Amino acid sequence: MSLEFTASEMMSVTAARALTSDMTCFVGIGLPSEAANLARLTHAPEVTLIYESGTLQTRPDVLPLSIGDGELCESALTTVAVPEMFRYWLQGGHISVGFLGTAQIDRYANLNTTLIGDYREPKVRLPGGGGAPEIATNAKEVFITVKHSKRTFVKDVDFVTTVGFGRDGKARDNVPNIGRGPTVVITDLCILKPDPDSKELVVTSLHPNVTREDVIEATGWEIRFVESLETTPEPSAKELEVLRDLKARTNKHHAGQQ
């Protein structure tokens, strides 16, 4: 019997599976945090989660609303100063994966969390880069999880807050001491990876019940698919149960209910 699950659940479960117990992961708030904690509560119990506020080996019972959420500090092994977090942990090469979300992403996996529209007269101001530019530069690789739509998946981001592979796909070529950059983008429709040569994002796997047309319609450039296109494995009953429990606890907690 096939399990019932939503596109959002499919995305979180798939993103969680990208993490393993031997990884040290610098976690962004929102969808990355959901996926990282799902991994910790299922197949990767020893994964080390680090948040920008300086919390090391964090094991929250509910998902944080921000990096300043008390749950992160209370459930961490220890908390260090933010400069130490960036200077020693991140710039020192101790982070295996940076897990990021974004408002806009383009075909070369550049991320925009700064503004929508023209820089001098923006239509919308966004929260800004936070630690994402440093994470994308210094983590050994970057995972991105984001919902798939034409508004988010644009041919060229309005502003490069966080470099993926630059405007031409060559920003990381011959640059010393820099991570590999984005290695996978996981959405509620599919999995994308950078082409080994051009660095343009291509679809490598479609989620169950998703068609090529669905992805084409939700992408702001002429998206390509690999020849040996795969179907992403469905979530298991255990993964769905743990994810739903986590979200229910989180919603109850943030609504002020114990």
Active site residues: 52
Closest among 13, 4, 3 to 34, alpha carbons compared: 13
The residue assigned the tokens 């933010």 is 82
Placement of tokens 């319609």 in the chain: 217
Count CB neighbours of 201 within 10 A. Answer: 26
106, β-bridge pairs: none
Q: Cβ(110)–Cβ(159) under 8 Å?
A: no
List 192's β-bridge partners, or say none.
185, 203
Q: With residue 253 as reference, give the H or E element that holds it.
A: helix 237-254
Interatomic CA distance for residues 50 and 43, integer angstroms: 18
Phi, psi of 30 (to 5 degrees): 95, -135
Question: Integer distance in angstroms from the first to the last C-alpha of the chain?
Answer: 35
- Is residue 49 within 8 A of residue 246, CB to CB? The reply is no
- 47 sits in the region (left: phi over 0; alpha: psi -120 to 50; else beta) called beta
- Which tokens is 26 given? 């610098």
